[in-house]
Amino acid sequence: MKYTGKDGKQHVPSVIHRALFGSVERFLSMLIEHFNGDFSLWFIPVQFAVVPINPTHNNYCEKIVNDLKKRGLRVEADYSENNMRAKIKFFEIQKIPYILVIGDKDITQNGFSVRSRTHGNLGMMDINTLEKHIRDELEMGVPQYIQ
């Protein structure tokens, strides 16, 4: 490709292209596609979902959500009027790694039932047991420059 400049001579054009955000967006879209949105616990935007079985459990769920957030974890809760199965299905479709289901029995035992995306039902846990359970998963795969 050539063009004629003001001096009447033929010149080869040069183009400088800079797309900082475009390249980041393309990288993220390829990453999402490669992993099919199924990210590791340390990388996924929402790590835990809290599901109250009915509205009477909402106060306890808020306490659990706040405690998890204080520990630096990323949490969402569904306080809607939907039934428990619909709430769980919604979070499973979003590929949330852990879903914490809370009912009467969980409140009396000061814990919650844990459902893992990869390992299924893990049973009843309290917050400290959950933290010990996920510690290795959180640290696994985290590059040293991120820690």
Q: Identify whether residues 58 and 117 lie together within a single domain.
A: yes
Is 65 part of any domain?
yes
Q: How many domains would you assign to the chain?
A: 2
Q: Is the pTM of the predicted complex or chain greater than 0.85?
A: no
Based on the number of CB atoms within 10 Å of its own CB, is 68 exposed (0-12), middle (13-18) or buried (19 or more)?
A: buried
Q: Identify whether residues 79 and 116 lie together within a single domain.
A: yes
Question: What domain range includes position 87?
Answer: 48-139
pLDDT 10s digits, 43-95: 889 999 999 999 999 999 999 999 999 999 999 999 999 999 999 999 999 99
Q: Give the CATH number, domain containing residue 112.
A: 3.40.50.800
Q: Are 116 and 100 in contact (CB under 8 A)?
A: no
Give the Cα separation of 134 and 60 in Å (integer).
Answer: 22
Is 146 part of any domain?
no
* C-alpha triplet 126, 136, 39: angle, nearest 5°: 95
Q: DSSP secondary-structure letter at 129?
A: H
Pairwise pLDDT comparison (112 vs 16), residue with the higher score? 112
Q: Identify whether residues 61 and 132 lie together within a single domain.
A: yes
Q: Quote the tokens at residue 12.
A: 């080869």
Q: Identify whether residues 57 and 22 lie together within a single domain.
A: no
